[in-house]
Amino acid sequence: MKSQDVARKALNEPVVSLFRALRAAAALYDGEFPAGGPSSTQFTLLAILNDHGAMTASQLGQALAMERSALKRDLAFLARRGLILRSSRPGRASPRWRLARAGHRELARLRPYWGRAQIRLKQIVGKTDWKMLHSILDRLTQAAGES
């Protein structure tokens, strides 16, 4: 089989299409955010900490189904900017991360960028498919978390 046939076949696989779509969606969202600031993934970390309070890195990783090294890199970025704080307590094995005051302000500043990206993606996907996509991705994420 020729290499271009292998590539063409691989591109027709649903999982490859999913990976490509995820990268495209991330690029769409990141394209709406100001350059040099938090990415859309880092925004979601801020939002989760805002909504749920202090969490361990493990809890954050599970909530976002995020790979450990990428999570560590994003947490370090947010901590360096003073947007999140790490706290350790005696007897607690894992430190917890929480939103700093600056993180609350940054989250509020970035919400309109997130909203614009959301509107663009919904327009691209369409209202009916948007609901179906949400349902499919939730099932996939849930199943992955159970394995």
This prediction has a pTM of: 0.83
100 phi-psi bin (left φ>0, alpha ψ -120 to 50, beta other)? beta
Whether 131 shows a pLDDT value over 70: the answer reads yes
Model confidence pLDDT, tens digit, residues 89-123: 776 778 999 999 999 999 999 999 999 999 999 99
Residue type, 118: Q
Tokens 């939730």 correspond to 138
Model confidence pLDDT, tens digit, residues 33-84: 999 999 999 999 999 999 999 999 999 998 888 999 999 999 999 999 999 9
User: Cα separation of 131 and 64, whole Å?
Assistant: 19
Domains annotated on the chain, with CATH = 33-118 (1.10.10.10)
The per-residue b/e assignment along 100-139, b for 16 or more CB within 10 angstroms, e otherwise, is beebeebbeebeebbeebeeebeeebeeeeeeebeeeeee
Closest CA to 25 of 105, 89, 118: 118
Q: What is the secondary structure of 121-134 as a DSSP string?
A: HHHHH-HHHHHHHH
